[in-house]
Structure 1
Amino acid sequence: MLKIIVRGGGDLATGVIHRLWGAGFKVLVLECAKPAAIRRQVALCEAVYQGSAQVEGLTARLISSLAEADAVWEHDEVPVLVDEAADSVHAFAPDIVIDAIIAKRNLGTSSTMAPLVIALGPGFSVGADADVIVETKRGHNLGRIIRNASAAPNSGVPGNIAGYSKERVLHAPCAGVLYVVHDIGSIVEKGETIATITDGSNQVAVKATLSGLIRGMIRDGFAVTKGFKIADIDPRKEELANCFTISDKARCIAGSVLELVCRYAQEKQK
């Protein structure tokens, strides 16, 4: 059985992990100590805070060392290890490493980490950083496998949903500790306070930029910096179920990753 490491456990990474798990592959997830996913209901990185997390039938379980991974796999679950620097890669000796952090830049992944290194999105170069890149930008090329170039650069503009783009994503207006007023799944109106940010004696309200459904919200009590991505509003109020299921974008990317993994497995058997 192939040994696969996925760096990152956010919502797009979770789509990849779920697809690999569904295909019968064993996956080890490496995460940072304080994950900042806003689509928390579909992000396996929540296991870092809660000890475990469930997304569409898959359970991820936090472990404190590589030695605990086998017991988690025996229960058909996915182990999550806090290892932001990927120091455990050498000891684990994976066949495949997938960088699914979606940081828009390389946070230490190298093509020397495994026989096959796959990177998702911009910030990587084929050759030095990874063997292959998967496009993560919405549009015609979403999920395209790139072997001799780079992914599209980060535009900073969210995908368009029901005519809304930049308005959908909210960023912290200041630094401080965020406290949730309306969490994921709540329907809010434009101008309504959905969270507050407190820095000492100062409290700043974060207001909805449009009416809709809160699809993503960073964890209550999370310390944010100014400009930090903190929430996502979907203008389609009827799409409540989408808050709790893997997105079409994540599934598309995951399909491309599974294709690469299966091809590698076939070639290894020859």
Structure 2
Amino acid sequence: MELSDYLVVVRGGGDIGSGVAWRLRRVGFPVVVLELERPLTIRRTVAFSTAVTAGDIVIDGIEGRRVASHQEAIATAMHDTVAVLVAPEIPDMPVSVVVDARLAKRNLGTDTRQAPFVVALGPGFTAGKDCHAIVETKRGHDLGRVIWEGSAATNTGVPGTIGGASEDRVIHAEVDGELTWDAAFGDSVGREEILGQVSGSPVRSKIGGVVRGLLLPGPVVKGLKIADIDPRFDPTAIHHISDKSLSVGGGVLEAILAWLNDPEQ
């Protein structure tokens, strides 16, 4: 069995989807990441979606590069690089595995007919109906666990706790408007410090920490997640894939290898 024979499409190149793509590319799977023209990624320093606007990005030693067509995507994926393609739907490619890493908390059209093996991340899916397997994304004892029957834990709407902070580490837009930033990735900020603005309305940090997530500047709507503060004050962490992303990526790798070992399970 040559892993290079199994093309994997990962829908969503945010930090979690990138952890999945990184794990799979690291062991030899060719990987194509599908993204939006304007990605909604916050942790852009560790997301292959950044290649959409930057052209390319290297994450922990693995390069992601934007491509213009599905033909170029296949060629790029076969040469040790994660191909990043802007595509709202799965292109006509010889796909073996589809991973829905969009983390929409609901099914946006994923089903088992899209590929011989389909994996979904987090809540909103039923294994055996919408997909063949689900990987748990909720922090805790089951993070990264592969689910072959049933669903992942229900979305609570409360971010996982990091460094003692949960909801306060994530910042949402308070108004509609044009987002601009004064802060930069890796900056140390204090509580109530102004990070930027949305059409004149200041965006403030709720806790002290290191800026690890900033949405691309541009138009936003009220309630959209736009920033993330890491209270652990480690500026080097913004350049490395998180423990959560690696755990979820490991779960996807386990699911795919289990399927390859026993396609009828």
Equivalent residues in 2 for 1:14-25 (5 A)? Answer: 14-25=18-29
What CA deviation, in whole Å up to 9, does each residue of 1:177-202 have, x standing for no partner? 1101112100011111001001xxxx
Distance in 1 between the 2:117 and 2:208 partners? Answer: 44
After TM superposition, give the deviation of residue 74 of structure 1 in Å: 4.8
What CA deviation, in whole Å up to 9, does each residue of 1:197-248 have, x standing for no partner? 01xxxx10011101111111111x22111010011111111x1111110000
Q: 1:211 matched to which residue of 2? A: 208
Q: 2:189 matched to which residue of 1? A: 188
Q: 1:12 matched to which residue of 2? A: 16
What CA deviation, in whole Å up to 9, does each residue of 1:26-64 have, x standing for no partner? 011111111111000000001111111211111111111
Distance 1:148 1:267, change over 3 A: closer
Runs of 4+ off more than 3 Å: none
One-letter identity of the residue aligned with 2:213: G
The two structures have a TM-score, normalised by structure 2, of: 0.94
Q: 1:127 matched to which residue of 2? A: 128
Higher mean C-alpha displacement, 115-124 vs 59-68:
59-68
Question: SS state of the match for residue 213, structure 2?
Answer: strand
Q: 1:166 matched to which residue of 2? A: 167
The two structures have a TM-score, normalised by structure 1, of: 0.92
Distance in 1 between the 2:107 and 2:51 partners? Answer: 24
Contact 1:119–1:133 under 8 Å retained in 2: yes
Distance in 2 between the 1:127 and 1:267 partners? Answer: 15
Distance in 2 between the 1:62 and 1:167 partners? Answer: 34
Unaligned runs of 5+ in 1: none
Q: 2:247 matched to which residue of 1? A: 252
Equivalent residues in 2 for 1:140-155 (5 A)? Answer: 140-155=141-156
Distance in 2 between the 1:162 and 1:22 partners? Answer: 29
- The counterpart of 1:235, out of the listed 216, 231, 244, is 231
Question: SS state of the match for residue 19, structure 1?
Answer: helix
- The counterpart of 1:64, out of the listed 56, 63, 68, is 68
Question: SS state of the match for residue 95, structure 2?
Answer: coil
Instruction: Quote the RMSD (CA, aligned, Å).
Output: 1.3
After TM superposition, give the deviation of residue 104 of structure 1 in Å: 1.1
* Structure 2 residue 46 is matched with structure 1 residue 42: yes
Contact 1:119–1:132 under 8 Å retained in 2: yes
Contact 2:10–2:32 under 8 Å retained in 1: yes
Distance in 1 between the 2:109 and 2:65 partners? Answer: 24
Contact 2:32–2:77 under 8 Å retained in 1: no
* Structure 2 residue 220 is matched with structure 1 residue 224: yes
Contact 1:85–1:108 under 8 Å retained in 2: no
Question: SS state of the match for residue 16, structure 1?
Answer: helix
Distance in 1 between the 2:95 and 2:60 partners? Answer: 26
Unaligned runs of 5+ in 2: none
- The counterpart of 1:80, out of the listed 55, 61, 84, is 84
Question: SS state of the match for residue 79, structure 1?
Answer: strand
Question: SS state of the match for residue 142, structure 1?
Answer: coil
